Copies of this chain bind each other. A is one copy, B any other.
Amino acid sequence: MIDETAIIAENVKIGSYVVIEKDVLIGNHVEIGNHVTIKEGTIVADNTVISDYSLLGKSPASNNKMARKPADDLEPLYIGEDVKIGTHCCLYRGSTLHPGVLVADIASIREHVIIGENSIVGKNVMVENNTLIGKNVTIQTGSYVTAHMVIEDDVFIGPCMSSSNDKYMASRTEKLQGPTIKKEAKIGNNASLLPGVVIGEKAIVGAGAVVTKNVPTGAIVVGNPAKEIKG
């Protein structure tokens, strides 16, 4: 089911049972797996690989309970050159993946997300809306990147990191602010980052640490609540 207004380079490989909607643009040597759906207007640059069952360019949904309605005037999703998208992924409109990004299987990327060159979004990682992820970042399997979070270049996030952005939990009026992780910081597996905390450059957060306040540049913190130790 390929819409006749989609523009697809001649050398693109397309699997079985693929849906490509109107005004989609697909560059040279792109590979599209089986059962892929690419929604209206999505742009996929050269040499990108999109694996089976992935959905590109979804629009957000909402219900009555949701205090903060998602944007409804989103630009199309843009996938840069040499990007790799795993299987069973779901990427929303209004986001940009720079060249060389790898998104592993069963990952989700919401709207208004920018991901820098060569960064890795691991398996089953959920990236919420309005998030900035720098270059050469690694986010390992199962980590959760909350909305309004900033992850600078060369950050390493181990598996199952958890973050949050709502200090008052469901306040409906307070400004949401996710954590900021500065350049080259490292976060251990299953660490919990509270709303608005800043993890300094080259800081290290231990596995299982619960970070309730800012972590200074180069510091090492562990425990619940996380406290500084000597390296």
Contact = CB atoms under 8 A, between A and B. Distances in A.
Given A17-B17, A162-B190, 17 more contacts: A15-B19, A19-B34, A52-B58, A63-B101, A66-B120, A106-B106, A108-B123, A126-B141, A138-B170, A141-B146, A156-B169, A162-B208, A164-B188, A189-B194, A190-B192, A190-B210, A194-B207
A173 interface: no
A141 B143 CA distance: 11
Contact of A126 (B51, B138, B142, B225): B142
A105 B55 CA distance: 11
Interface string A39-57: 0000000000101110100
14 contacts: A1-B17, A53-B88, A63-B100, A63-B101, A65-B118, A108-B123, A123-B126, A128-B141, A146-B189, A159-B163, A190-B190, A192-B207, A207-B210, A223-B224
Interface in A113-170: 118-120, 123-124, 126, 128, 136, 138, 141-142, 144, 146, 156, 158-160, 162-164, 166, 169-170
A69 to B, nearest CB: 12
Contacts of A223: 224-225
Given A61-B49, A87-B90, A189-B162, A124 B123 contact: no
B53 A55 contact: yes
Interface of A: 1, 15-17, 19, 33-35, 37, 49, 51-53, 55, 58, 61-66, 82, 84, 86-88, 90, 100-102, 104-106, 108, 118-120, 123-124, 126, 128, 136, 138, 141-142, 144, 146, 156, 158-160, 162-164, 166, 169-170, 186, 188-190, 192, 194, 204, 207-208, 210, 212, 222-225
Contacts of A189: 144, 146, 162-164, 192, 194
Contacts of A37: 33-35, 52-53
Instruction: List the 8 closest pairs (A to B, CB-CB), nearest first.
Output: A208-B210, A162-B190, A63-B102, A192-B208, A160-B162, A164-B189, A190-B192, A156-B170
A201 B102 CA distance: 39
Contacts of A119: 65
Contact of A224 (B106, B136, B156, B208): B208
